[in-house]
Structure 1
Amino acid sequence: MKCPFCNQDNTRVIDSRPVPDNNSIRRRRQCDECGKRFTTYEKIETIPLVVIKKDQSREQYDRTKIQDGIMRACYKRPISVEQIEKIIDEIETEIFNKEDREIPSTEIGEIVMDKLKDLDAVTYVRFASVYREFKDVNTFMDELKKILN
């Protein structure tokens, strides 16, 4: 592992421990040349997951797309970055635990909405309004009634 400070190859692991999601390992390293410390994460490599879009085109799964959508929905809400990361990790675990290597984007959207519903009602409605493409106030009200019941 190259040192991010001096670019030398001489680094050693000082400490290793599993990350709470149990899908990666956190390693604390120290450079033998400059003495600076840094952290790396090893993540289990998985078989690529393909997402089937609404227009039936396919693209490789991208975590940042889920993250961006949730971040927009959480804008100015009392939700911490740790809570967002935890939800994204839960969503990924659910997606990758499925047997299929292809998953419709609609299924991912439903999983995201289920997780957001438990987190924060406003965040859920914001995400649903974009995801379900509400055309008018009536469809928006229908979704609100589902939450209130």
Structure 2
Amino acid sequence: MRCPYCGSQDSQVKDSRPAEDGGAIRRRRVCPDCGGRFTTFERVQLRELTVTKKSGKRVPFDRDKLARSVETALRKRPVEAERVERLINGIVRRLEQSGEAEIPSEEIGSMVMEALKGLDDVAYVRFASVYRDFREARDFETVIGELSRPARSAPDDGA
């Protein structure tokens, strides 16, 4: 494993232990050249996933990008790291088990929206503002109105 500090091609594993409820292995490493210490995670990958963007461009699925998006929405929110990790793992597991090799980015965004709605209202609104490309304050009002309605119930007849 390459050292993130000095770029050395060699590092030594000092400690390994299960992580994420046994779904990954956490390894503490040290670089013999610069002495830098860092952590890596090894996870099972069931299949190679490709994300189809709105533009039609296809890119490899990046779990870390998903995690950064979720963590950005949850920045400074009182949500435990363990719950965030479970949320991300759950989305990745659903994607891998879908049986599809190519997944539209909109589908991933919808999964994140659904998961955040059950986790933290502020994070849900933050993510929605980027995912739905809000242009004006009224867009925020619409999403906040979604929070007060029950999730996907019978169609509203206006009564």
After superposition, the C-alpha distances for 1:79-125 in whole angstroms (9 at most, x for unaligned) are 12222111100110111110110000000000001000000000100
1:53 matched to 2:50: no
- Partner secondary structure for residue 133 of structure 2: coil
Q: Structure 1-normalised TM-score?
A: 0.75
1:91 matched to 2:91: yes
Percent identity among equivalent residues?
42
After superposition, the C-alpha distances for 1:16-37 in whole angstroms (9 at most, x for unaligned) are 9765545345689xxxxxxxxx
- From the superposition, tell whether residues 72 and 41 of structure 1 become closer, same or farther in structure 2 (CA, over 3 Å): closer
> For structure 1, which runs of at least 5 residues remain unmatched after alignment?
2-10, 29-38
RMSD: 3.2
Aligned-residue offset at 1:61:
0.3
Aligned-residue offset at 1:134:
0.8
Q: 1:147 maps to which residue? A: 147
Q: Does the aligned pair in 2 maintain the 1:21–1:89 contact within 8 Å?
A: no
- Partner secondary structure for residue 83 of structure 1: helix
1:63-74 correspondence to structure 2 within 5 Å: 63-74=63-74
- From the superposition, tell whether residues 129 and 17 of structure 1 become closer, same or farther in structure 2 (CA, over 3 Å): same
1:23 matched to 2:59: no
**Which segments of structure 1 move beyond 3 Å, counting only runs of 4 or more?**
16-28, 39-42
Q: Structure 2-normalised TM-score?
A: 0.71
- From the superposition, tell whether residues 48 and 77 of structure 1 become closer, same or farther in structure 2 (CA, over 3 Å): same
> For structure 2, which runs of at least 5 residues remain unmatched after alignment?
2-11, 29-38, 150-159
The residue type equivalent to 1:106 in the other structure is: E
Q: 2:75 maps to which residue? A: 75
Q: Does the aligned pair in 2 maintain the 1:25–1:43 contact within 8 Å?
A: yes
Task: Write the distance in 2 (CA, Å) between the matches of 1:121 and 1:53.
Answer: 26
The aligned length equals 139
